[in-house]
Amino acid sequence: MFNALLLEKDDVGFRAGVKSLADERLPVPGEGDVKIAVDYSTLNYKDGLALTNKSPVVRTWPMVPGIDGAGTVIESRHAKWRAGDRVVHNGWGVGETRWGCLAEVAVLPGDGLVRLPGAFTAKQAMAIGTAGYTAMLCVLAIEAHGAKPGDGEVLVTGATGGVGSVAVAVLAKLGWRVVASTGKAAEADYLKSLGAAEVIDRAALGAAGKPLQKERWAAVVDTLGSHTLANACAQTRYGGVVTACGLAQGMDLPSSVAPFILRGVTLAGIDSVMAPLPRREQAWQRLASDLDATRLEAMTEEIGLAQAIARAGDLMNGKVRGRIVVRTAK
């Protein structure tokens, strides 16, 4: 038997709850799969959507959600992994089309695993999770563009969220002057403790604005989309780069081509779900070197499986600061 957070949907409706499941319910590992004992999982925005049934994230029912997990290999049918290996999993369709990591045990695609960096414990890796890994993908895209700290300020939107919190911490450590945008004025001290030099109200970016505005940002990490992303592009300096990795405000982009053809601004899309393995490994290596692990404690809340449903609702209602890690180990 193993405990798991199970999502069910049928003619009766949607249900979410922690269940004790027979081992036979766990998917049989196929070629290339790895069975792991999950020590910790986490709640990402996509997990929140699944647990609250607010978006059609889950495509196969019943489903164990949890796109992230960290733990130890129990059984492997993948050439790279052996029993006893310590691993991290992010994305790869888990929690959508195949059972995920909000459980004591999970069967995962071996191609989606990364070796747990020695710099982090399993809990710290999940404090980073897809959110922090996505933040690092944004940093890598900014660097690939050629932008560097001396070029000017970097804007991070949705800064108190998981992606935003890690982005602020990493960019500040790399020497950027970070301006954090948030709707939570009471969290200004928290953001400054992570390294933000300035905190601004998200209202300044959240409504419709002109297609070209006063130039300010050398680079942007945007987690919100919609008007916020449009205004960030409109305010980006000539030749700057805007990384788009989220849609918390909306999927729309009410903008024009003006910033791109008149200022040479680059809009870089960030996909963390199906990013190829070399990029994943690079991101985790950089997190190990460029994220101060002591910063994680301030941005992390630890809960058990039984609390995950309620906290997922809080996450979707904007009541969560930083990261939530879920203790799943027996």
pLDDT in tens, 74-107: 999 999 999 999 999 998 889 999 999 999 999 9
Which residues have a Cβ under 8 Å from the Cβ of 138 and sit 6 or more positions away?
A: 163, 167, 221, 243, 245, 270
- The pLDDT value recorded for residue 71 is 98
pLDDT in tens, 169-228: 999 999 999 999 999 999 999 999 999 999 999 999 999 999 999 999 999 999 999 999
Q: Is the dihedral of CA 162, 166, 172, 174 positive or negative?
A: negative
pLDDT in tens, 11-36: 999 999 999 999 999 999 999 999 99
pLDDT in tens, 235-291: 999 999 999 999 999 999 999 999 999 999 999 999 998 889 899 999 999 999 999
Q: What's the residue count for the chain? A: 330
> What is the homologous superfamily of the domain 2-116+299-327 according to CATH?
Medium-chain alcohol dehydrogenases, catalytic domain (3.90.180.10)
- Residue 330 above 80 pLDDT? no
pLDDT in tens, 298-309: 889 999 999 999
State the residue for tokens 């879920």. 326
The residue-averaged pLDDT of 112-116 equals 94
User: What CATH number does domain 130-269 carry, 3.30.930.10, 3.40.50.300, 3.40.50.720, 3.40.50.970?
Assistant: 3.40.50.720
- Residue 110 above 90 pLDDT? yes
State the residue for tokens 């779900």. 273
The answer to whether the beta carbons of residues 251 and 226 sit under 8 Å apart is yes
**Domain spans of the chain, in order of start:** 2-116+299-327, 130-269
